[in-house]
């Protein structure tokens, strides 16, 4: 969304379409909506929609689905603008939350720019994306090479794999060869069939070889992996749906390359911190730890610490000012206090009472590292660069919309006992306890035996005796087959049958999967209204949902009267049509 500023001039307006130009000769921006001072462009809409929806919905999105999604964007804009008009962004609590997400965004930006993208190269990410747009159906014959194998063992295994390839090229049956020679216990009895595989999650050399093969092509030579040699054949290829590269890049890096380059990333992170610590002349003042630890062991601060940690409020103003003056670490231009350490730990960990010197030292070192990294990121201006600028804006929007929604909707729902009881009285049909039957069962796997047991039981033979002798259900074998009270939705067909039966009636065999059940109803409870105490949780949930929906609709209606909203259906109709897949 782009704020409407004076440099924007209306260039063309026709019914259902608004196009704005930013100065003469600039690129025109097509809008799908205008919400007060917020402009939602086609590009904004497409970016949000693609990020939120699966590929099949993106490619087949109907106008109704697009309108529904646009309405959610409009509501977010309305809420954010209302929050700003009320000055919620100026309140201490919200300012602290915004500062926190700003710091987090900057910290992540520094890690990306100074560490992650120094190790993970753009061309490698793009290659992964291109390869993961297809799946290949393969089969293989795997010859294992033990860890620390000798050169002779490696060479002989390679020779065996080469011989298998020669025999396959001479007409040998792949499936039979896999059953006879493959060391892959999972696939060898299936003729080596691995099914469809997708790029990632396997040895790169294996994947690289498999993806280069055409349909029915056999690997020209054995493929060496960390565990041995593979003979590979591709049986089929198929395309896989993907979002455009820019929407998949972050997931690819996090889900694949973080794991692949973990050691390199950790090593570079360590070097980065070491260099930063040296440049900023960081000194850890362990000589001051004893006094701080002694303070933390006192009952009053210990109690306050535990309470604050539990609710992660971030408010450590209760710390003794004199203790807060003690520098736990110093660096160019500042020092780290106990409150600083607490604030850091509250963001990163489930706080535990600090009792030992090594524990305090680790927290101090990590707090300093975080503080200096954020300072570096601020100086580098990462918060004003993409994609970090948009990430921060989205997180701020989330903070503001959550805060104002709580104020205008959530906190206005009356959940008093009196209100809930009245709602319960007026809506008892929603709080019913279903009919139940106490059931005794004899479960067997043999159909003929089940028929005989059913005849014996219906002829009057003692059901307890039959259950003790024949029932195979492990959970009820020692209880003479008594399942307990079940409703019509319990145990599949058993529950449905039981609720149709009278007390004392025997029915069966009832087939369920590969088993057969003979059941007897011992007692019944008819459907009844739950007591308020029994239903209270459900009453509260249903009442709250109904009222939240109602209050939210009323609030949105008021906001639409206060803040003008204009949509452009023709532009929305064209959205998603020009996506480069």
User: Would you list the DSSP string of 481-540?
Assistant: TEEEEE-TTTTTHHHHHHTTSPTT-EEEEEEETTEEEEEEEEEEE--EEPPHHHHHHHHH
Total Cβ atoms within 10 A of residue 116: 19
For the segment 503-548, what is each residue's pLDDT rounded down to a tens digit? 999 999 999 888 999 999 999 999 999 999 999 999 999 999 999 9
Split at pLDDT 50, 70, 90, the class of 479 is very high
Res. 252: pLDDT tops 60: yes
**Among 124, 118, 113, 123, residue whose Cα is nearest residue 200:** 124
How far apart (Å, rounded) are the C-alpha atoms in residues 435 and 487?
6
What percent helix, strand, coil does the chain show, rounded to 5?
55, 20, 25
Domains 134-239 and 435-526 are alike in CATH topology: yes
Total Cβ atoms within 10 A of residue 565: 17
Please confirm whether the linkage preceding 509 is cis (ω < 30° from 0).
Answer: yes
What is the CATH code for 435-526? Answer: 3.10.50.40
What is the spatial order of strands in the sheet that 193-198 belongs to? 193-198, 134-144, 228-239, 223-225
**Among 184, 139, 143, 146, residue whose Cα is nearest residue 161:** 143
Which pLDDT does position 22 carry in this prediction? 41
Which pLDDT does position 327 carry in this prediction? 94
Task: Rounding to the nearest 10 degrees, give the CA dihedral for residues 343, 347, 351, 354.
Answer: -40
How far apart (Å, rounded) are the C-alpha atoms in residues 192 and 185?
9
Res. 273: pLDDT tops 90: yes
Res. 351: pLDDT tops 70: no
Indicate the burial class of 229 (C-beta count within 10 angstroms; 0-12, 13-18, 19 or more).
Answer: buried
Task: Rounding to the nearest 10 degrees, give the CA dihedral for residues 348, 353, 354, 356.
Answer: -120
Domain positions in the chain are 134-239, 264-382, 435-526
Res. 21: pLDDT tops 50: no
Domain 134-239 listed as CATH 3.10.50.40: yes
Residue 98 near residue 243, CB atoms below 8 Å: no
Which pLDDT does position 24 carry in this prediction? 42
Which pLDDT does position 267 carry in this prediction? 94
Instruction: List CB contacts of 8: < 8 A, sequence separation 6 or more.
Output: 20, 21, 22, 39
For the segment 399-414, what is each residue's pLDDT rounded down to a tens digit? 999 999 999 999 999 9
Signed CA dihedral, 346, 347, 352, 353: sign only? negative
Total Cβ atoms within 10 A of residue 92: 8
For the segment 167-197, what is each residue's pLDDT rounded down to a tens digit? 999 999 999 999 999 999 999 999 999 999 9
Residue 256 near residue 211, CB atoms below 8 Å: no
Tell me the sheet residues that pair with 224: 229
Q: Which helix (H) or strand (E) holds 52?
A: helix 42-52
Res. 20: pLDDT tops 70: no
Distances (CA, A) of 25 to 21, 22, 49: 8, 8, 29
Stated pTM of the model: 0.73
Split at pLDDT 50, 70, 90, the class of 6 is very low
Split at pLDDT 50, 70, 90, the class of 354 is confident
H-type alpha helices, 213-288: 245-252, 258-260, 262-279
**Among 366, 398, 422, residue whose Cα is nearest residue 107:** 366
For the record, the structure tokens of 492 come out as 């599949």
């Amino acid at each position: 969304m782009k704020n409407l500023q004076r440099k924007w001039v209306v260039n063309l307006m026709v019914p259902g379409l608004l196009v704005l130009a930013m100065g003469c000769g600039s690129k025109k921006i097509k809008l799908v909506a205008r919400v007060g001072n917020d402009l939602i462009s086609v590009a904004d809409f497409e970016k949000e929609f693609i990020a939120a929806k699966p590929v099949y919905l993106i490619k087949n999105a109907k106008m109704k689905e697009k309108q529904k999604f646009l309405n959610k964007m409009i509501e977010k804009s309305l809420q954010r603008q209302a929050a700003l008009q009320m000055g919620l962004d100026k309140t201490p609590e919200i300012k602290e939350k915004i500062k926190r997400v700003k710091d987090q965004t900057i910290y992540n930006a520094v890690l990306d720019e100074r560490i992650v993208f120094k190790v993970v190269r753009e061309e490698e990410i793009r290659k992964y994306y291109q390869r993961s747009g297809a799946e290949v159906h393969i089969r293989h014959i795997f010859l294992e090479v033990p860890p620390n194998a000798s050169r002779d063992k490696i060479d002989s295994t390679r020779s065996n794999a080469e011989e298998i390839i020669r025999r396959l090229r001479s007409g040998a049956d792949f499936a039979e060869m896999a059953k006879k020679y493959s060391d892959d216990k999972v696939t060898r009895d299936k003729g080596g069939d691995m099914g469809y595989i997708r790029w990632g999650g396997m040895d790169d050399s294996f994947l690289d070889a498999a993806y280069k093969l055409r349909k029915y092509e056999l690997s020209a030579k054995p493929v060496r992996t960390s565990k041995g040699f593979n003979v590979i054949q591709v049986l089929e290829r198929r395309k896989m749906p993907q979002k455009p590269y820019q929407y998949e890049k972050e997931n690819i890096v996090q889900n694949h390359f973080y794991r692949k380059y973990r050691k390199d990333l950790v090593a570079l992170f360590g070097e980065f911190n070491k260099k930063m610590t040296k440049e900023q002349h960081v000194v850890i003042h362990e000589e001051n730890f004893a006094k701080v630890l002694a303070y933390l062991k006192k009952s009053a601060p210990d109690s306050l610490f535990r309470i604050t940690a539990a609710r992660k409020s971030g408010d450590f103003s209760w710390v003794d000012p004199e203790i807060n003056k003690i520098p736990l670490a110093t660096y160019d231009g500042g020092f780290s206090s106990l409150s600083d350490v607490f604030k850091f730990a509250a963001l990163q960990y489930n706080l535990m009472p600090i009792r030992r010197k090594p524990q305090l030292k680790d927290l101090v070192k990590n707090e300093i590292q975080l503080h200096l990294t954020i300072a570096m990121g601020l100086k580098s201006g990462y918060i004003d660069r993409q994609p970090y600028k948009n990430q921060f804006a989205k997180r701020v929007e989330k903070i503001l919309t959550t805060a104002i929604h709580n104020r205008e909707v959530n906190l206005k729902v009356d959940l008093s006992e009196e209100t809930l009881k009245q709602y319960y009285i007026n809506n008892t049909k929603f709080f019913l306890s279903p009919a139940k039957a106490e059931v005794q069962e004899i479960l067997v796997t043999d159909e003929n035996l089940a028929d005989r047991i059913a005849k014996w039981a219906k002829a009057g033979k003692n059901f307890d005796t039959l259950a003790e002798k024949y029932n195979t259900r492990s959970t009820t074998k020692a209880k003479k087959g008594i399942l307990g009270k079940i409703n019509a939705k319990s145990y599949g067909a058993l529950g449905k049958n039981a609720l149709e039966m009278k007390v004392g009636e025997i029915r069966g065999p009832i087939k369920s999967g590969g088993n057969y059940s003979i059941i007897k109803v011992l007692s019944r409870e008819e459907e009844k209204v739950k007591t308020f105490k029994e239903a209270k949780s459900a009453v509260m949930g249903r009442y709250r949902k109904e009222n939240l929906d109602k209050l939210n609709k009323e609030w949105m209606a008021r906001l639409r009267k206060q803040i003008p909203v204009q949509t452009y259906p023709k532009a929305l109709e064209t959205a998603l049509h020009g996506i480069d897949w």
